[in-house]
Chains A and B, each alone.
Chain A
Amino acid sequence: MKNLNFKSYLLAIATILLAFSCSDPLGDDIDKINEDLSISKEIVYTLTDDDYDTADDVCSCSGFGNFSSDDGVRQGVPAVLAAVFPALGDGSSALVTYDFFNGSSPDIRGDQQVFTVTAEEYTELGFGFGNFSDLAEDVPVYADFKVGEGSDGDYLDVTHEFFNNGTTTTVTTRVVWVVSNNAWVWAEPLPDASYADFFNESPPDFSFEDEGEDNIPFWLKATKIFAVAGDQALIQWNWDNGPGTSQSVALYIFDGTNWNEYGNVAQITQQSLNFGHDGTTWVPDNTIKYTMGPDDWTAIAAASLNSNPGGSASVTQFGNFDLTLWTSEQIFEQITNRLATIFPNPEAGQKYLITYAVWRPGSGSDQLNIIWDGTSYSEITE
């Protein structure tokens, strides 16, 4: 009987103890941490043909396989990122490259307006001599004044006094609205003589519209010998259109070696924009993410030698901020001074996310969200 009591006593205690010891004390904490954790990655991505369709479903702006407005990019690209990288979350960043349509090539198929410049208009626009002397510069000024903004295909024929080489003559100059420049541009007509002299054409027109378009670059290269890369020329030429002669214009851009037609090289360009994930969605975000490395610690140790000798020594020793030796103000000061050196001349509004090692005691890392407002750095608090 006594033995039975022993054993049941023991069994009872042992069971209770065993039960208590088979628990999972940290289970709840870990579950919560995993819930809150997001997959944060930095990616670089170029949109594929299918992606423009994905974007178009949301923004109706990329049906042609490219974006044509910044708004369109801001609306459409997040939809693409969410579709291609559905797992990435808060803290992720993406550098996205996409095709951007800079506007139609200029043409003269739209509205034509005809003006003659009056004496008052010369005066009002500041042309004291009652004439224009630089067709490329002056006539577009008149166009802005007279018409304002144009639209694709619009052109103006302006009759005015032209002072050139000591003589003043009355001429009619054509300016064309160029969508990609968002401006009126002088349409430079091919000199009549050039048709025969350069192009071996007689009468002074090309047989087909394309012939002009394709051959004018050679004439530009031969005649505009002082051009520099980036220079533009809007050229007008005549071509044989059945019973009559038509005129066409094309915009050419010099790349340093050759003149290229706008439509071939500049109409669709590749642009890139930085996006960041804010926990809910992707938004344009130019935050520079940077982790402090060995060179930074060396610089900070040197910079703080007098103001915080204990802290400076510990930075040299361990490559981290010992929080018992550094206050948050001191850390902010050192990091922003370092930013000014490694990212000089930032634009106003530039944001930084700086990760740096700390010693609490116990190793860890902290982050600082900083913004440069054009004058000073300040911490971004949520």
Chain B
Amino acid sequence: MRKLLLCFSLVIGTLITAAQTTVSGTITDSETGEALIGATVLEKGTNNGSITDITGSFSLSVSSGDATLVVSYVGYETIEVGANSDLSSLTLQSGSIGLQEVMVIASFGIDRKTPVAMANVRADVIEAKIGSQEFPEILKSTPGVFATKEGGGFGDGRINIRGFNSENVAVLINGIPVNDMENGRIFWSNWAGLTDATSAMQVQRGLGASKVAVPSIGGTINIVSKASDRQKGGYAQVNTGNDAYRKAGFQVSTGLTENGWAVTLSASKTEGDGYVDGTEFLGHSYFANIAKQINDSHEVTFTAVGAKQRHGQRQNQQTLAVFDAAPQGIKYNADWGIRDGQVVNVEDNFYHKPQMSLNHYWTISDGTELSTAAYASWGTGGGGGTGGNWQIGPNNTIPKKGGPYGPTDIDLLVETNVANPSGESLAWQRASRNDHNWFGVLSTLNHELSSNLTLMAGLDLRRYVGKHFYEVTDLLGGEYIVNNDDVNNPNRVLTVGDKYNYNYDGQVGWQGAFGQVEYTSGDLSVFGTLSVSNTSYSQVERFNTVGNSEDETDKINFLGFQVKGGANYNLNSNHNVFANVGFFSKAPFYRNVFLSRTSNNFNEEAENEKILSFEVGYGYRESNLTLNVNAYRTQWKDRSFVRSQTQNNIQFFANILGVDAVHQGIEVDAVYDVYRNLKLTGMLSVQDNIWQNDIENVFIEDEDGNQIGSAISVYSDALKVGDAAQTTASLGITYELFDGFSLGADYVYFNNLYASFDPIGRTDESDRNQAWKAPAVGILDVNLTYHFDIAGLDSSIFGNVYNVGNVEYVADANDGGGHDAASAQVFYALGVNWNVGLKLRF
């Protein structure tokens, strides 16, 4: 009987497939599970094809069931499948080696599985729109993000997520945390080499999915660089833009050779004058990835990335009245000068931080993998500035050429130095140097306990030494300076390269362990993570210990931990909901333990900051519409607040608790395919970020508990958090006019930006005014992308015009004493600026 049925079904099956038929299926990324949108499904040997929609699904009418389908997608290996085979879950493997493994180390979230609010920025979007922008700005259409260029110098941009600044936003590059080990900040100019070498970027908001203990309170920015391409080839690229912007770069890949090697190298040179006066820049970026597939179980990749750059900065903000009066308008910059007719960038930044990592992926058995990254980076550089007395102009101001808004008259400073009979420089240039060495190992074991349960555990070890000092860089016509900063060497005669002011090393050791359990069953996935870390700080000080040229303190240890969990449930193929909750006890920053650059006194009772966060989210996926809604509340308690008083040569500290803030909000984002060639994207983010509490009459106490010094009070209750716009929205269009040619526009709106202020500075009980609220702003960027053939080479042109309306607006402001527009100190954002690039692929 059974045999008869089988026979029968085979006959029917053959009959069916013999005729013209419609087949359909879904195509996803083999590692992340993400739908591949726009992948091509072609009936082999014909022009008959279709492309996948927003859910990765396709439908194609084929001539016969015996047809072969060729499935291809940019960046992935092409596959061929029979039209009559099971097409319901086809996967394509990325064309790069080691990319998927890195994504696991980096805890890249997977749609409808990882219970975290996230947004992906695809490599092709970065390629089309980055132009002269930097990473923070490419994210400005992401909910919860507020990104600005600050002073406007190359790489000086910053990003806040959910109102938290970079101290509380984790940045991972290939899974390796790169927030500064002493102050938690990010310097995007260090990573200029990555904009061309990014293969995937994901912003996870809130606590994020990273297992490693990183300061993800506002969110995590996860950047994964290109791995070695399986295919041989490369590209050459040139860009030009406003204010003499020029960039030239290339990339070559050897492809996967017979003996298992693959090398990808890229390099570029970027230079320009900068939109803002006095922000000339020059950077050389490089990226290298070498992969070796040893055998089926072992793979090793080596990555090196870096950008050696120097750029002029606009360091000092000005009032609105000054920008209005200055002939240069919003481009006005007080921080550069002229010497012998040449521009001198008095305030500049120069840095080179090569980061290298050696990754080893070991497939121990089916279901067990060990990924280890050993990394090192050496940073050298710092920021230029003034030394001595530059205020020899009228009314104790710095002398300027040609009126009060002209460049600094460095010639006058040189003249004054030269005229000094003793040969001593009265004014000079210096740099504050912040070199560092940083070594670390990050190892993750991924083990499938059962088909539903995965365990990940690992170690995160880091050793960092930051070397900080001032050095003389230019004596401006004088011969030397005399300095007394070193107690063991009074009246030192210094020349170019000598150190002064302070000279200390900040040493940070970090030992962390983490574990995550993930349970997936059908439509439900649940995860729980625990990470614990010990941070040890010690300082080496070289100027202020009598009789000792180098004084090293003991290590002072702080324990921190993070526990978080979440769940995602797919109600059906369209709807999913998720929730996550977490608690983070964050070890204090270095500066709250060692308060002084010139003394080894330490504050060992510094308190951890505590963060409690929870979030719920909803997702809707349909063939031409993606919609996400999420709501969150993050409570930040005991922001670092340290005061000290010295009595009888002993320094006493008070660690004052109670400076709290709550950041909460709702975020909505959507992508809508109106037609096949017209796409709309939109985003709305409404935040409510407020400081809570006053602190009244706290005293510093001596060893007997007696109060010393005056009362310490902070009046910050109900003040809205400044520095980031609390309401943002965006609308984007992409329209493909004809094959390969598309136009796009992105409109970004922000409001409720309160000027920056430190709540600790609010010591006047009668002053309860909110900081100045900058006016609401909407900015339009337009983009043109054209893919075409030049002499058989696959080429592209990318054109971008940013701030088409040339709106003059403020996105960076510091609150003034009057809490009003007149007293605010601001940077104007850039007016209209543009960039055009040509890329030839071979």
The residues of A with any CB-CB pair to B shorter than 8 Å are: 6, 9-10, 13-14, 17-18, 20-26, 28-30, 32-34, 36-37, 291, 293-294, 305-310, 313, 317, 323-324, 327-330, 358, 360-364, 366
The proximity string for B residues 247-265 relative to A, scoring 1 for CB distances below 8 Å and 0 otherwise, is 0000000000000000000
The proximity string for B residues 624-659 relative to A, scoring 1 for CB distances below 8 Å and 0 otherwise, is 000000000000000000111111000100000000
Contact A307 B805 (CB under 8 A): no
Cβ contacts A to B, 17 pairs, < 8 Å: A10-B733, A20-B749, A20-B780, A21-B780, A22-B807, A25-B810, A26-B808, A30-B321, A33-B822, A34-B321, A307-B645, A309-B596, A310-B595, A323-B763, A324-B758, A360-B758, A363-B825
Contact A313 B745 (CB under 8 A): no
Q: In whole angstroms, how far apart are the Cα atoms of A26 and B777 in the complex? A: 9
Contacts of A17 in B (CB 8 A): 731, 745, 747, 778, 780
Residue in contact with A23 in the complex, picked from B735, B763, B804, B807, CB distance below 8 Å = B807
- Nearest 8 Cβ contacts at the A-B interface: A362-B814, A21-B805, A25-B775, A21-B780, A29-B821, A323-B761, A22-B805, A17-B747
**Chain B proximity of A25: nearest CB distance (Å):** 4
The proximity string for B residues 731-775 relative to A, scoring 1 for CB distances below 8 Å and 0 otherwise, is 101010000000001010100000011101101100000000011
Task: State whether A328 and B745 are in contact (beta carbons under 8 Å apart), knowing that A26-B810, A34-B321, A309-B645 are contacts in the complex.
Answer: no
Additional A-B contacts beyond A10-B735, A20-B778 (11; CB < 8 A): A6-B735, A9-B674, A13-B731, A25-B809, A28-B775, A33-B324, A36-B822, A360-B817, A361-B756, A362-B815, A363-B316
Contact B807 A324 (CB under 8 A): no
**Chain A proximity of B99: nearest CB distance (Å):** 36
Contacts of A358 in B (CB 8 A): 817
The DSSP consensus for interface residues of chain B is mixed
Contact A310 B643 (CB under 8 A): yes
Contact B809 A30 (CB under 8 A): no
**Chain B proximity of A126: nearest CB distance (Å):** 58
Residue in contact with B396 in the complex, picked from A293, A309, A330, CB distance below 8 Å = A293
The proximity string for B residues 791-814 relative to A, scoring 1 for CB distances below 8 Å and 0 otherwise, is 000000000000111111110001
Say if the beta carbon of B363 comes within 8 Å of chain A: no
Residue in contact with A313 in the complex, picked from B316, B596, B807, B814, CB distance below 8 Å = B596
Contact B747 A363 (CB under 8 A): no
Interface centre among A21, A317, A366 (most CB of B within 10 A): A21
Q: In whole angstroms, how far apart are the Cα atoms of A330 and B713 in the complex? A: 13
Q: In whole angstroms, how far apart are the Cα atoms of A30 and B324 in the complex? A: 8
Say if the beta carbon of B779 comes within 8 Å of chain A: yes
Q: In whole angstroms, how far apart are the Cα atoms of A212 and B727 in the complex? A: 93
Contact B647 A306 (CB under 8 A): yes
Residue in contact with B817 in the complex, picked from A9, A33, A324, A366, CB distance below 8 Å = A366
Contacts of A36 in B (CB 8 A): 822
Contact A294 B389 (CB under 8 A): yes
Contact A30 B320 (CB under 8 A): yes
Q: Which residue of A lies closest to B778 (CB)?
A: A20
Contact B814 A21 (CB under 8 A): no
Q: In whole angstroms, how far apart are the Cα atoms of A308 and B595 in the complex? A: 13
Q: In whole angstroms, how far apart are the Cα atoms of A329 and B821 in the complex? A: 26
Contacts of B595 in A (CB 8 A): 310, 313
Contacts of B761 in A (CB 8 A): 323-324, 360-361
Contact A18 B805 (CB under 8 A): yes
**Chain B proximity of A2: nearest CB distance (Å):** 8
Contact A360 B815 (CB under 8 A): yes
**Chain B proximity of A44: nearest CB distance (Å):** 14
Say if the beta carbon of B418 comes within 8 Å of chain A: no
How many B residues have CB within 8 A of the partner chain?
A: 62
Contact B317 A21 (CB under 8 A): no
Contact A34 B324 (CB under 8 A): yes
Say if the beta carbon of B678 comes within 8 Å of chain A: yes
Contacts of B396 in A (CB 8 A): 291, 293
Q: In whole angstroms, how far apart are the Cα atoms of A13 and B317 in the complex? A: 36
Contact B778 A6 (CB under 8 A): no
Say if the beta carbon of B598 comes within 8 Å of chain A: yes
Q: In whole angstroms, how far apart are the Cα atoms of A67 and B255 in the complex? A: 97
Contacts of A363 in B (CB 8 A): 316-317, 825
Q: Which residue of B lies closest to A312 (CB)?
A: B646
**Chain B proximity of A294: nearest CB distance (Å):** 6
Q: In whole angstroms, how far apart are the Cα atoms of A323 and B757 in the complex? A: 10
Q: In whole angstroms, how far apart are the Cα atoms of A21 and B805 in the complex? A: 5
Q: In whole angstroms, how far apart are the Cα atoms of A32 and B646 in the complex? A: 47
Contacts of A9 in B (CB 8 A): 674, 678
**Chain B proximity of A331: nearest CB distance (Å):** 10
Contacts of A21 in B (CB 8 A): 747, 778-780, 803-805, 807
Contact A20 B747 (CB under 8 A): yes
**Chain B proximity of A37: nearest CB distance (Å):** 6
Contacts of A24 in B (CB 8 A): 807-808
Q: Which residue of A lies closest to B751 (CB)?
A: A25
Q: Which residue of A lies closest to B764 (CB)?
A: A328
Q: In whole angstroms, how far apart are the Cα atoms of A327 and B712 in the complex? A: 9
Q: Which residue of B lies closest to A7 (CB)?
A: B735
Contact B646 A309 (CB under 8 A): yes
Q: In whole angstroms, how far apart are the Cα atoms of A218 and B816 in the complex? A: 69
Q: In whole angstroms, how far apart are the Cα atoms of A309 and B825 in the complex? A: 28
Contacts of A362 in B (CB 8 A): 317, 756, 814-815, 825
The proximity string for B residues 378-399 relative to A, scoring 1 for CB distances below 8 Å and 0 otherwise, is 0000000000010100011000
**Chain A proximity of B393: nearest CB distance (Å):** 12
**Chain B proximity of A28: nearest CB distance (Å):** 8
From 463 to 512 in chain B, residues with beta carbon under 8 angstroms from any chain A beta carbon are 501
Q: Which residue of B lies closest to A293 (CB)?
A: B396
Contact B733 A23 (CB under 8 A): no
**Chain B proximity of A142: nearest CB distance (Å):** 58
Interface centre among A308, A313, A329, A360 (most CB of B within 10 A): A360
Contacts of B806 in A (CB 8 A): 22
Say if the beta carbon of B776 comes within 8 Å of chain A: yes
Residue in contact with B814 in the complex, picked from A32, A306, A364, CB distance below 8 Å = A364
**Chain A proximity of B647: nearest CB distance (Å):** 7
From 683 to 738 in chain B, residues with beta carbon under 8 angstroms from any chain A beta carbon are 709-710, 731, 733, 735
Contact A14 B777 (CB under 8 A): no
Residue in contact with A33 in the complex, picked from B317, B597, B821, CB distance below 8 Å = B821
Residue in contact with A309 in the complex, picked from B651, B745, B778, B817, CB distance below 8 Å = B651
Contacts of B745 in A (CB 8 A): 13-14, 17
**Chain B proximity of A336: nearest CB distance (Å):** 16
